[in-house]
Amino acid sequence: MYTTFENKLPIIILSSKRTGSTAIYDEICSYVKDKRNDVQNFSEPSENGRMSDLVDTITQGFPFIMKVHCYDLVTVYPKQIIEFVNKCFLIRIRRKNLVNQIASHYVASQRNKWKYGPTEDNFEEVLSIIDFARINRSIKFILAYNHSLDNYTANISLDLYYEDLIFHNSNSLLTPKPSNYDVLKQTIAETLQRNTNSTLSIQPH
């Protein structure tokens, strides 16, 4: 799938939360790095204190790969960066199963752990008490972030869905599911059914 990506730089991965964007970013960076060694990598630079590095890279015309949540792009990033991004090779990655996406966000936020590597097995297996307030927060976050991504107006070069992808990068593993995961998903589905209309317009911040 990544064939000739080294010729499509800069590459921007537009995502929502819990869509596998880190895994696809890692794989694309790994593939391009094997082809050329002059590419800068940026994963959510506004969250990682690398905005000035990004601006310098754009100003100097260096090739780069960036992963960014679409909601953050349109609410945090300067207009000049958005205009530049819109001219790049844009990969949009989404998720088909909304309940699973929200459940993944809930588990990650409850554990305060957002990524798992191949040597990690230290995590809480049971999330015994389901926190309804946290479920509502996760729903609000995901609906707002998805809405921004679904309605982004720039020309999308490649549309991907998490469920259609096979990830080969050993640096990113699936989030381990708690033993009450099915109960959590059922609770999320019931909450969505009751509250989708009222939560869709509520912003996460």
- Backbone angles phi and psi of 148, in degrees to 5: -65, -45
pLDDT value at position 199? 43
Mean pLDDT score of the chain, rounded to an integer?
Answer: 88
What stretch of H or E contains 89? strand 89-94
Calpha distance 26→169 (Å, rounded):
7
- Cis preceding-peptide flag for 176 (omega within 30 of 0): no
Is it the case that residue 162 has pLDDT exceeding 80?
yes
What token pair was written down for 85? 């991004």
DSSP state, 163?
A: G
For residues 183 and 180, what is the distance between their CA atoms, to the nearest angstrom?
Answer: 5
Nearest to 201 by CA among 149, 158, 140, 150: 140
Q: What is the pLDDT of residues 101-118, one digit of tens each?
A: 999 999 988 887 777 776
Omega cis (within 30) before 10:
yes
| Residue closest to 22 by CA, chosen among 114, 113, 110 | 114
- Please answer whether residues 132 and 156 qualify as being in contact, where contact means their C-beta atoms are separated by less than 8 angstroms: no
What's the CA gap between 96 and 20, in Å, rounded? 12
Q: Full-prediction pTM beyond 0.85?
A: yes
Residue 175 — φ and ψ, nearest 5°? -65, 125
The pLDDT tens digits of the residues spanning 63-83 come to 999 999 999 999 999 999 999
Helix, strand or coil for residue 67? strand
